[in-house]
Structures are given as C-alpha cells and as structure tokens.
Amino acid sequence: MKLIGSLTSPFVRKVRVVLAEKKIDYDFVLDSPWEAGNKVADFNPLGKVPILVLDDDTTLFDSRVITEYLDNIAPNNRLIPVPNRERAQIKRWEALADGVCDAAALALLESRRPDGERSPSWIARQRDKVQRGVKAMSDELDDQAWYHGTSPTLADIAVGVSLGYLVFRFPDIDWREQHPNLGRLYDKLMQRPSFAETMPQG
C-alpha cells in the first residue's frame, strides 16, 4: 500500500506512527496540497492528506478512517480496543487531538494571510480551541501513564502527535509548563522510534 502525504501534516504523521507501531510495510509518497502542481485532489476530492492507496487502488481518507483500517488489518499490537464503549472513548480522544490540530492549522493559515486580510479574532477563536483542547487532554489523562490500559493506544498516539504539532508550529504555547502530565506522556512517546523518526519538518 501507498501513503500520500507531507512531512509537516500532523494527520499524516499520526498514520505513519500507526503504520510503524503495527509494523506494516508501505511506500511513502511525498506530496502536499500546498505545493504547485500537486496531485492530491486526484486521490482525494477534498484535496487533503493523508490518503492511503490500497493494493487494488482503492483510496482511503481521512486519517481516522485510515487509522481504524490499519488497526484492523493486522491483529498485532491493538491500538483500538474491541469493546464498543472503550472503542468510542479512544476514538473520542483521537477526535479531540485531531480537533486541536485542525484549530492550530486554521490559526496558522490565517496568521500567514496578508496584512488587511488577516482576522485577529479568527486566530484568537482557533487558539482558544487549542487551549481548551489541550486542557481537556490533560484533565482526562490525569495521573495515568496512558489514556487507556497499560500500553499506548491510538488515543496516546493522537494526543502525542497533536502536541508535536504545537512544538513544531506554536512554540509560544507553553502546554508543557501548564500541563506537566502531558509533558511526561510526550517524553515517553518520543522514546519510541515511531515518534522520534516522524517529527514534523519543513
């Protein structure tokens, strides 16, 4: 299978971490919807990455569809528990972490618009979502080592990736100082090759 995406996208990184944790082989095809001449919309009408192209050329998006698909094709190292209630809780944490990335990306894009077109109130609105989302991630982790059970699940991966995106794009947001438990989670995740080798760059 083939993963299409960029080195900067947190959603692509989340999928790469899952592929590494599940030890699934794939080809990584670099493309970005922000690059002139990109081919992203040929695979996803929404023009967004990540996209997973299966061996029969079926395309899968978005990242939450892909992570669930990947967890189900390989039985090793389950990242989403099977019982419905637990599964929903893990996917809720994934949605929360993805939502932090969505809001952060919107704030970043808005901040890059030319003077006169930029909306400070829109940026503030998105940054509030980031702050509230990070606080919820911290409150819900509390003093546990992982969000669920005794080993990392998709919840920890998604939260770790969202924090990594803040490290990359918003160094002024001091989530580590405000939420030491998230700092501990992040440091533990960064000891894993799946995380350390996929830090966003560009």
| Whole-number Å distance between alpha carbons of 170 and 177 | 14
Q: Does 33 bind ligand GSH (CB under 6 A)?
A: yes
What is the x/- site pattern for ligand GSH, positions 85-124, by CB under 6 A? Answer: -------------x------x-------------------
Q: Does 43 bind ligand GSH (CB under 6 A)?
A: no
Residue type (1 letter), 163: L
| Whole-number Å distance between alpha carbons of 88 and 57 | 29
Tokens of 168: 């990359």
Nearer to ligand GSH, 102 or 179 (CB): 102
Helix (H) or strand (E) holding 172: none
| Whole-number Å distance between alpha carbons of 36 and 93 | 34
Tokens of 190: 């960064």
- Of the candidate residues 30, 38, 64, 74, the single one contacting ligand GSH (CB under 6 A): 64
Q: How far is the CB of 142 from ligand GSH (least distance, A)?
A: 26
| Whole-number Å distance between alpha carbons of 99 and 97 | 5
Residue type (1 letter), 86: E
- Of the candidate residues 62, 106, 132, 200, the single one contacting ligand GSH (CB under 6 A): 62
Q: Does 13 bind ligand GSH (CB under 6 A)?
A: no
Q: Does 9 bind ligand GSH (CB under 6 A)?
A: yes
Q: How far is the CB of 198 from ligand GSH (least distance, A)?
A: 14
Residue type (1 letter), 76: N
By the criterion CB under 6 A, which residues form the site for ligand GSH? 9, 11, 33, 47-50, 61-64, 98, 105
